[in-house]
């Protein structure tokens, strides 16, 4: 079997990895083997954290909505249940925007709408 030295392909591969690792500290940006390990790890973290970012933002939105809901005498779960009963299709991102907005009036109207829907849905003996 003939010997294959790879020629320019090896240089191109190493150049690509070192370019991805530029900006890393010390040997991780200079030595190919260390750079390869660092780039692989960074890629794994980037893949995982693209998904985690979505979870983190949803959590942040829920915290903001909960804080604003408590200002209007509702818990987060009661507010969401009331909005569902009222037929509101606002998602949590939009609710959080309204909750953190400088003008509290729109969120107060939504809270009133949710409270009204909850009162209508509650049985008469309650």
The answer as to whether 24 is a domain residue is yes
**28 shares its domain with 79:** no
DSSP state letters, the chain: ------THHHHHHHHHHHHHTTTS-GGGGTSHHHHHHHHHHHHHHHHHHHHHHHHHHHHHHHHHHHHHHHHTT--HHHHHHHHHHHT----HHHHHHHHHSS--HHHHHHHHHHHHHHHHHS-TT-
Indicate if 71 and 33 belong to the same structural domain. Answer: no
Same domain, 85 and 41: no
Domain of residue 39: give its range: 13-51
For the chain, 126 residues long, give each residue's pLDDT as a single digit of tens.
888 888 899 999 999 999 999 999 999 999 999 999 999 999 999 999 999 999 999 999 999 999 999 999 999 999 999 999 999 899 999 999 999 999 989 999 999 999 999 999 877 655
Domain with residue 110: its CATH number is 1.10.1900.20
Query: Do residues 41 and 34 make contact, with C-beta atoms less than 8 angstroms apart?
Result: no
d(CA 17, CA 111): 53
């Amino acid at each position: 079997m003939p010997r294959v030295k790879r020629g320019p392909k090896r240089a191109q591969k190493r150049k690509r990895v070192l370019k991805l690792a530029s900006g890393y500290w010390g040997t991780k940006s200079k030595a190919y083997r260390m750079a390869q390990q660092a780039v692989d790890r960074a890629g794994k973290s980037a893949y995982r954290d693209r998904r985690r970012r979505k979870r983190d933002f949803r959590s942040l939105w829920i915290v903001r909505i909960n804080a604003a809901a408590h200002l209007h005498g509702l818990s987060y779960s009661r507010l969401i249940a009331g909005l569902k009963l009222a037929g509101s299709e606002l998602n949590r991102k939009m609710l959080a925007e309204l909750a953190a907005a400088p003008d509290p009036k729109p969120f107060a109207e939504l809270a009133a709408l949710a409270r009204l829907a909850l009162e209508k849905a509650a049985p008469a003996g309650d």
